[in-house]
Amino acid sequence: MSSAGAAQRTRRERSYVLAGVLLLALGCAGRTPPVRTAQKASPPARLTWLPAESIGGRELAKAVNEHLRQVSLPGSATSVRAAVSMEVAQLAIECTEPTPSCYTAVGRSLGADEILWAELGAPGDSSHEVRVALLLYDVRGGAAPKRVERTFDSVEVARAGVSALVDRLKTRNGPR
C-alpha cells in the first residue's frame, strides 16, 4: 500500500507543482499590450515656433519668421509663436547645449509638443554668405531634431529660398 500510494502521491504533487508553474508563467506573460487606439485618440500636437533673432540682418530674420509662422504640419494644431527665441530660452533655463535634452527642456518650458526654430549664421569668413537651418523637434519623442539646412550666397537669395527650405522640412517630415 505504501509504495503505490506514495507513487500516486508523488505524481499528484508533481502535477500540482507543474500546474502552479504554468499558472505563474501565464500570469506573468499574459500582460495586455499597449492599446494603440489611445494614441490615435490623443489630441493634436501643439506646435510652437521660436522666432529667429536678427543676427544676419533684420530682413532675413523677418523673412524667416514669416515663413515659420505659415508652417503647419499634419497632425499638429495651428502653430504658436513663442515669446522668446531659442537662444534666450536656453539661456533662461540654463541649458545652452544643442542637445535633445536641452531642446526637450525648452519645449516643456514653453508647453509645446513640437518646437520649430531657425538658426541663422555666417558659415565662414565670407560676409555675404548666409546659412539658414530649420529644425523641428518632437518634445514627446525626444529624438534628434529634423534639420534642413542650406547656405545662400546673400541675404536676398536667402530670403527667396527660405520657402523652399520650409517645403523640404515638410517633405522630410513626411505625411502623417
Is 44 or 123 the residue whose CB approaches another protein more closely? 44
Nearest distance from C-beta of residue 9 to another protein, angstroms: 8
Rounded to the nearest whole angstrom, what is the least distance from the CB of residue 61 to another protein in the complex?
12
DSSP for 62-106, please give it. HHHHHHHHT---TTB---EE-SS-HHHHHHHHT--SSSHHHHHHH
Q: Could you tell me which residues come within 8 angstroms of residue 52 by beta carbon, excluding any fewer than 6 positions away?
A: 61, 64, 65, 68, 85, 117, 118, 119, 120
Which C-beta is closer to another protein: that of 91 or that of 160? 91
Give the closest residue to 114 by CA, choosing from 143, 85, 157, 149. Answer: 143
Q: CB of residue 162 vs another protein: minimum separation in angstroms?
A: 18
Pick between residue 9 and residue 128 the one whose CB is nearest to another protein. 9
State which residue, 77 or 157, has the beta carbon closest to another protein. Answer: 77
Q: Which long-range contacts (CB under 8 A, 24 or more apart) does 15-23 make?
A: none
**Smallest distance from another protein to CB 163, Å:** 18
Question: Taking the complex as a whole, how short is the minimal distance between the CB of residue 165 and another protein, in angstroms?
Answer: 19
With respect to another protein, which residue has the nearer C-beta, 106 or 158? 106
